[in-house]
C-alpha cells in the first residue's frame, strides 16, 4: 500500500512537470529568441535607434515570436514600398536568416534579390550583405551587376559579398574591374577577391595591407594570400584574430579559409558562430596556432589543388 502511494505520488509529480513544460517551455524558448533578436538589432546598423526596434516588435503583433515568424513578417514587409520599413525588415533578416529551415532561407534569398534594384543605397547595401552571408550562389549574377554601381558604398559591399560567395569562374572580368578601379578601398577589395579566386595579380597590395594597423584589411589580405599559397602569412593572420575583442566574422572567415586549404578542422561552429562566446572562439584559434607550430615545416603548396599538403 505504501509503495502504491509512493508510485502514485511519483506519477503526479511527472504529470505536473509535463504540464509545466507544455504550458511554459515554448514561450520561454520563444522569449529567448525575441531577446536574442532584440539584442542583435541593437548591435546592428540600428544601434542607438531603440524606438525603431521597439516599433518593430509592436508592429509585428507577434508577441514572443520565433525566428521563423520574424522572417516571414520581414519578407512581407519588403513589399510595402516604405523604405524605412524595408530597411528594418532587411536588418531583421540579416539576423534571422541563419536560424531558419533551408526552405525559408531560400525564400529569404528569393525575396531579397529584388531589393538590389532599389534606388536607396542603404537598402542595396543591406540586401547585398544578407545575400553574401547566405552562401547562395543564385545571388552571384545580380551582385556582379552592382560592380558598376556608383552609389555610396554599394560597390565595396558587393565585392565583399563575393568574397564569401567566391564565384567559380574565370577571373578576367574581376581583373578588368581591378585594373580600372581608382578608389583605394575598392581596388584593395578587388585584390582580395582575385586572391580568393586564385589570381595573384593584386598580391603587392595585399602584402602592403597585411601589416596595416586596421585589422580588417590585415585579416582579409591574409586570407587571400593564404589561398594563394603564401605559407608565411598563416601565423600573421592567426595573430590578428587571436584577441578577445576580435569580431566573430574575422575569425569565422579566417578559420574557414584555413580549413579549406588544409583540410584540418577544430569543429568551429561556422553555422552559428555569433552564438559562440569569445572564449570558445579563442580556444579554436589557439588550437590552430599550436597546429601551425607542429606542422609548419611539413607543408607545401599544391597549386593545382590549391591546397597545402603535408610532407613527412
CA 189 to chain CA mean position, Å: 17
User: Is residue 42 within 8 Å of residue 57, measured between CB atoms?
Assistant: no
User: Alpha-carbon distance 16 to 173, whole Å?
Assistant: 66
CA 135 → CA 7, 128, 130, distances in Å? 54, 11, 9
| 302 three-state secondary structure | strand
The candidate with the shortest Cα–Cα distance to 67, out of 30, 103, 42, 102, is 30
Q: Helices 215-227 and 203-210 meet at what angle, rounded to 10?
A: 140
Residues of the chain with pLDDT under 70: 1-65, 167-169, 213, 268-276, 312
User: Is residue 284 within 8 Å of residue 266, measured between CB atoms?
Assistant: yes
User: Alpha-carbon distance 115 to 277, whole Å?
Assistant: 33
User: Is residue 112 within 8 Å of residue 130, measured between CB atoms?
Assistant: yes
Say what the pTM is: 0.77
35 forms beta bridges with: none
Provide the grid cell at 216: 580588417
CA 127 → CA 43, 130, 217, 248, 253, distances in Å? 18, 5, 23, 20, 20
DSSP class of residue 139 equals G
User: Is residue 177 within 8 Å of residue 147, measured between CB atoms?
Assistant: yes
User: Is residue 155 within 8 Å of residue 187, measured between CB atoms?
Assistant: no
Which pLDDT value is given to residue 23? 36
| 282 three-state secondary structure | helix
Provide the grid cell at 246: 576580435
Which pLDDT value is given to residue 246? 86
Amino acid at each position: 500500500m505504501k509503495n502504491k502511494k509512493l508510485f502514485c505520488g511519483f506519477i503526479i509529480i511527472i504529470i505536473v512537470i509535463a504540464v509545466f513544460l507544455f504550458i511554459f517551455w515554448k514561450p520561454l524558448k520563444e522569449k529567448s529568441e525575441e531577446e536574442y533578436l532584440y539584442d542583435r538589432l541593437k548591435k546592428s546598423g540600428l544601434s542607438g535607434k531603440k524606438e525603431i526596434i521597439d516599433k518593430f516588435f509592436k508592429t509585428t503583433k507577434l508577441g514572443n515570436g520565433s525566428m521563423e515568424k520574424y522572417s516571414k513578417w520581414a519578407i512581407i514587409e519588403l513589399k510595402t514600398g516604405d523604405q524605412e520599413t524595408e530597411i528594418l525588415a532587411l536588418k531583421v533578416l540579416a539576423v534571422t536568416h541563419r536560424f531558419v529551415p533551408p526552405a525559408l532561407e531560400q525564400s529569404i534569398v528569393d525575396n531579397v534579390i529584388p531589393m538590389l534594384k532599389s534606388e536607396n543605397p542603404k537598402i542595396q547595401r543591406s540586401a547585398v550583405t544578407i545575400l553574401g552571408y547566405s552562401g547562395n550562389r543564385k545571388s552571384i549574377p545580380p551582385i556582379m551587376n552592382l560592380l558598376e554601381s556608383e552609389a555610396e558604398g554599394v560597390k565595396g559591399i558587393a565585392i565583399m559579398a563575393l568574397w564569401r560567395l567566391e564565384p567559380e569562374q574565370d577571373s578576367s572580368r574581376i581583373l578588368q574591374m581591378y585594373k580600372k578601379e581608382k578608389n583605394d578601398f575598392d581596388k584593395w577589395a578587388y585584390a582580395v577577391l582575385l586572391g580568393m579566386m586564385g589570381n595573384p595579380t593584386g598580391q603587392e597590395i595585399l602584402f602592403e595591407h597585411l601589416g596595416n594597423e586596421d585589422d580588417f584589411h590585415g585579416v582579409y589580405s591574409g586570407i587571400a594570400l593564404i589561398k594563394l599559397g603564401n605559407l608565411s602569412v598563416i601565423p600573421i593572420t592567426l595573430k590578428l584574430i587571436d584577441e578577445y575583442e576580435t569580431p566573430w566574422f574575422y575569425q569565422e572567415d579566417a578559420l574557414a579559409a584555413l580549413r579549406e586549404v588544409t583540410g584540418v578542422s577544430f569543429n568551429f561552429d561556422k553555422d552559428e558562430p555569433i552564438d559562440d562566446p569569445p572564449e570558445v572562439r579563442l580556444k579554436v584559434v589557439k588550437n590552430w596556432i599550436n597546429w601551425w607550430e607542429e606542422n609548419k615545416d611539413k607543408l607545401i603548396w599544391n597549386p593545382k589543388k590549391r591546397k597545402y599538403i603535408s610532407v613527412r
